[in-house]
A and B are shown apart, each in its own frame.
Chain A
Amino acid sequence: MTQPNYDRTRGLALLTMMERIRAFERQAELAATRDQLVLGAIHLSIGQEACAAGIIAALRRDDLLLSTHRGHGHTLAKGADPTAMMEELLGRAGGCCGGKGGSMHIADFGVGMLGANGVVSANIPIGAGAAHGIKLLGDDRIVVDIFGDGAINRGPFLEGLNWAAVFGLPVLFVCEDNEWSATTRTSDMTAGEGAAARAKSFGIRTEVVDGNDVEAVADIARDLVAAIRRDRQPAFLHARTFRQGGHTYFDPATYRAKEEAAARIASDDPIARQREILLGAGVAEADLDRIASDAWAEMEAALAAAAAAPFPEDGSVFADVQDIGSPELEAY
């Protein structure tokens, strides 16, 4: 049963963002498999949309975000243009990074998205540093720094959390735990009680949330973001979710039982769950379907536009390396 004071507007907005992320990811998958237009590896966030939608809904546009190799959803939720994102995946000139970064380095500084990262765990202390910069500049922005469950076994996790706690920095660390580190079950490779226990040991406020319940994610993110903005201290959110597909779009995930994934998808899909909530709140099914079909049409158009877009000029490979000793002047 839905609560009497349920906020349908917010619920619909959260669903809309999740549908847009899923449609983007499905179109990206088609671009890779059907169209053979994505040349490098892409990591899809299908099944994890509630984390992106719920957490980033709590942010202002000028707040900052750092993400991982699985960062399309976060980037879209922060406000990036899906056509520019799709162009980036296709290596085109109009991509958010001019076709130079691709999926794993997707970034849109204009909306505060300071980059996905191809190195697991690396964004954790960089995000703490962005918060450090904010502290030095003295404004009231905050940073959200998202990483996977596999990232907590690298040193930058320890160094970054310690740093944020020692310096009292306005950063929300989010461990988006999809249970898998590439083809390895993360729990098999993680000692002790895992992400939340480790975060607590630094004296950082730590919360655990069902990461496939977008309303719960949005609620806790709103609380944590408000606390961080007010108290200028870090916080940590462990969001439990599930990676529905393979590690990359071409990974058939043969290392786990098909039934295991199928059962989880059937019982615990974040979009299906949110649709149930909205149906319970009296929203018509046709309206929910329209949200999905609009999202699909939007991302289909984004892919079509990207596929027709030009590749970058050859010379741009020498641009934006460095001013001093730039290869545009020094290459030989």
Chain B
Amino acid sequence: MGVMTYGGAALEALRQAMAADPTVWCVGEDLGRGGVFGQYKGLREEFGPDRVSDAPISEAAIMAAAFGAAMVGTRPVVEMRFADFALCATDELINQIAKARFMFGGQSRAPMVIRKPMGMWRSSAAQHSQSLESWYAHIPGLVVAVPSTAQDNFSMMKAAIEADDPVVYLEHKNIWANEGEVDQAAPYQWGTARVRLKGGDVTIVSWSDCANRAEQAGRTLAAEGIGAEVIDLRSLWPWDRTAVIESAARTGRLLVAHESVAVGGFGAEVVATVVQEADLKARPRRIGAPRALIPYAPNLEDQLRVTADMIADAARELCA
């Protein structure tokens, strides 16, 4: 046990994986200096420039080359810098990496971790703030990780590097410095949610940084006597349908909250799945961003945020 930051926990998991397995390597722009957010700090000194490789500003080639290297037996950790720039490597991820194993009849694997820091952070505007996790959840072949705590960023990074599947690993840029206790030996199983708070009145499902806001909302509600069960999905594919359906069936009320645009978001998938499986006492709700573009000015940016207050308000309405 020990306290780590969200960013530091993934760094430590990566460091340990690189020490244990010489085929693990990292590639991306500016990794030699530790990465844009310090996610690779100290690794070049420890493992050298071949295994902590700088790259040209060629997102498509970073993705494609790492894929080629994965097919011959290495385990690349790919850094996209910002989730937004990963769109420059869409063909490589969606048409090549996600499909290779299937198209080639099981002859190949793409054991890759594709890191895409996402989310709203410090007035970064429309091209540096997006949350596109639902896109990746839609693509067969990909695993989608959306960790929200230091513990999970340790355990899930470790599991992602060990996985033989391509894992789209979406860290939230706003919480690199969040601290938490990390038990390095804690087991992690893909597709299992973490119940952040127990409660019997309403089920609140969230992920990534929004799960932290959902937990905050749950604590406020608890003080008012409303029992919110806050479930952090942690991964969107696979996702823990069992836990969510069980909880929603028990509380009879479901609210899903995510930072990304509500329209076509993964919240819709959660709601649709639950209403097919469980009888609810109230119509389920989802909260996400309006289908608007993320702006620069803070007051404009705030209009698109999904806050703890909004989550608490929606839960109160559901329980009224």
Contact = CB atoms under 8 A, between A and B. Distances in A.
A79 B66 CA distance: 26
B265 to A, nearest CB: 19
B266 interface: no
Interface in B190-210: 190-191
Nearest to B166: A322
B69 A163 contact: no
A97 B58 contact: no
Interface in A114-156: 114-115, 117-119, 122, 124-137, 155-156
A321 interface: yes
Contact of A107 (B56, B68, B104, B190): B104
Nearest to A121: B91
A56 to B, nearest CB: 18
14 contacts: A97-B103, A100-B102, A101-B103, A119-B95, A119-B96, A129-B65, A129-B71, A130-B69, A136-B51, A159-B56, A159-B61, A320-B101, A320-B102, A324-B238
Contacts of B108: 107, 109, 114-115
A109 B110 CA distance: 14
Interface of A: 64, 66, 95-101, 105, 107-110, 114-115, 117-119, 122, 124-137, 155-156, 159-160, 162-163, 166-167, 319-325, 327, 330
Given A162-B56, A163-B65, A325 B191 contact: yes
Nearest to A131: B68
Nearest to A130: B68
B17 interface: no
B222 interface: no
B278 interface: no
B93 to A, nearest CB: 11
A128 B165 contact: no
B313 interface: no
Interface stretch (B136-144, B176-184, B254-262, B296-304): B136-144
A122 B100 contact: no
B79 to A, nearest CB: 15
Contacts of A163: 56, 58, 61, 65
Nearest to B55: A163
A324 B70 CA distance: 17
Given A107-B107, A321-B141, A155 B60 contact: yes
Given A66-B68, A159-B60, A167-B53, 19 more contacts: A98-B106, A100-B104, A107-B104, A108-B107, A115-B108, A125-B61, A126-B64, A126-B68, A126-B92, A128-B61, A129-B69, A133-B73, A136-B50, A156-B60, A159-B58, A160-B64, A319-B106, A322-B101, A322-B143
Contact of B143 (A114, A129, A324): A324
Contacts of B23: 136-137
Contacts of B103: 97, 100-101, 105, 107, 115
Contacts of B91: 119, 122
B104 A101 contact: yes
B58 A129 contact: no
Contacts of B69: 129-130, 132-133, 136
B154 interface: no
Interface string B35-77: 0000000000000001101001010110011111111111000
B72 A160 contact: no
Instruction: Pick the 6 closest A-B CB pairs, nearest first.
Output: A129-B68, A129-B65, A133-B69, A325-B238, A98-B105, A97-B105
B25 interface: yes
B105 A95 contact: yes
B66 A321 contact: no
A133 B105 contact: no
Contacts of B167: 324
Nearest to B145: A324
B21 interface: no
Contact of A162 (B58, B73, B237, B238): B58
Given A324-B238, A325-B191, A133 B140 contact: no
B92 to A, nearest CB: 7
B221 interface: no
A324 B104 contact: no
A68 to B, nearest CB: 13
Nearest to B236: A325
Interface in B214-242: 237-238
A95 B107 CA distance: 12
A140 to B, nearest CB: 13
Contact of A322 (B51, B71, B105, B142): B142
